[in-house]
């Protein structure tokens, strides 16, 4: 059966209603358009994100089920608390955004190819320069060993990707992110698609319409710019 997808015109800034997303493949909504800052911001504020591989057209998605971390859902369990107490790792905010994106884009053991292609990296770098995209870095001395990045939409952090070159680095980054968010907002984190790693940490599935309700509530919030200045982070309960 042929699949019909609306094709976006780069000269027109719009998306189809997310209710028109396909069931198979789950959430595929449209193709084409561009990766301009304006279009990306409209996408995230509409519950849509880009995801495509080398050789594919630009594809836009709004899956039927999202993975989210509810406020205060990321906590130290006993083993993670012990690991943090023993670690020599340090955490920072927005001190190496481009390097975090490159780390997320690097080939992995079971994932030799990446969807974070150079045009995507450049687009998110522009978002970062305009104060919309942020990163958490995990360091061992001066070596970057983990981190995550994503887009802030009001009070909701839409996580894009993370990487881990030493045990627990990604977990520490997520925990630091939610603790940082909780200083000025509830602390919701959108992780896009459920996977075993996120579910193990406590991410919960949220149907699209419930996610959109949450998104619209969070979009109305204003995040103080000062909270996102480059800085060192600490983890509570350590």
Confidence of residue 107 (pLDDT cuts 50, 70, 90): confident
Contacts of 238 (CB under 8 A, 6+ apart): 76, 81, 84, 85
pLDDT of the residue at 2: 61
**Which residues are bridge partners to 93 per DSSP?**
136, 231
Q: Examine domains 7-63 and 67-233 and report if their fold is the same.
A: no
Confidence of residue 4 (pLDDT cuts 50, 70, 90): confident
pLDDT of the residue at 25: 94
Query: Whole-model pTM?
Result: 0.94
Domain segments of the chain as ranges: 7-63, 67-233
Has residue 197 got a pLDDT over 70?
yes
pLDDT of the residue at 237: 63
Say if CB 79 and CB 69 are below 8 A apart: no
Residue 190 tokens read as 């959108």
Question: CATH classification of 7-63, choosing from 3.40.50.800, 3.40.50.2300, 3.40.50.300, 3.30.70.3550?
Answer: 3.30.70.3550
For the domain spanning 67-233, the CATH number is: 3.40.630.70
Say if CB 209 and CB 70 are below 8 A apart: no
pLDDT of the residue at 29: 98
- Distance (Å) of CA 186 to CA 68, 100, 181: 13, 25, 7
Interhelix angle 118-129/37-45, rounded to 10 degrees, is: 80
pLDDT of the residue at 76: 82
Cis peptide before 25 (omega within 30 of 0): yes
Phi-psi region of 27 (alpha: psi -120 to 50; beta: other; left: phi over 0): left
Give 133-152 as a DSSP string. EEEEEEEETTEEEEEEEEEE
Residue 155 tokens read as 């009070």
């Amino acid at each position: 059966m042929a699949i019909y997808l609306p094709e976006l015109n780069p000269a027109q800034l719009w998306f189809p209603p997310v209710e028109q997303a396909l069931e198979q493949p789950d959430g595929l909504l449209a193709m084409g358009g561009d990766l301009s800052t304006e279009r990306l911001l409209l996408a995230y504020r509409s519950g849509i994100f880009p995801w495509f591989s080398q050789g594919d057209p630009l594809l836009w998605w709004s899956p039927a089920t999202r993975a989210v971390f509810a406020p205060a859902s990321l906590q130290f369990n006993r083993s993670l608390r012990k690991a943090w107490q023993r670690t020599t790792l340090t955490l920072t905010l927005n001190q190496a955004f481009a390097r975090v994106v490159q780390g997320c884009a690097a080939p992995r053991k079971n994932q030799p190819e990446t969807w974070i292609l150079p045009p995507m990296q450049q687009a998110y770098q522009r978002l970062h320069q305009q104060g919309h995209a942020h990163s958490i870095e995990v360091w061992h001395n001066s070596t970057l060993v983990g981190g995550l990045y994503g887009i802030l939409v009001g009070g909701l952090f839409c996580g894009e990707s993370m990487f881990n070159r030493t045990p627990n680095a990604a977990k520490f980054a997520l925990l630091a992110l939610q603790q940082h968010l909780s200083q000025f907002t509830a602390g919701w984190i959108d992780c896009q698609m459920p996977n075993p790693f996120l579910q193990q940490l406590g991410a919960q599935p949220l149907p699209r319409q419930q996610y959109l309700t949450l998104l619209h509530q969070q979009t109305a919030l204003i995040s103080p710019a000062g909270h996102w200045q480059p800085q060192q982070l600490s983890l509570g309960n350590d």
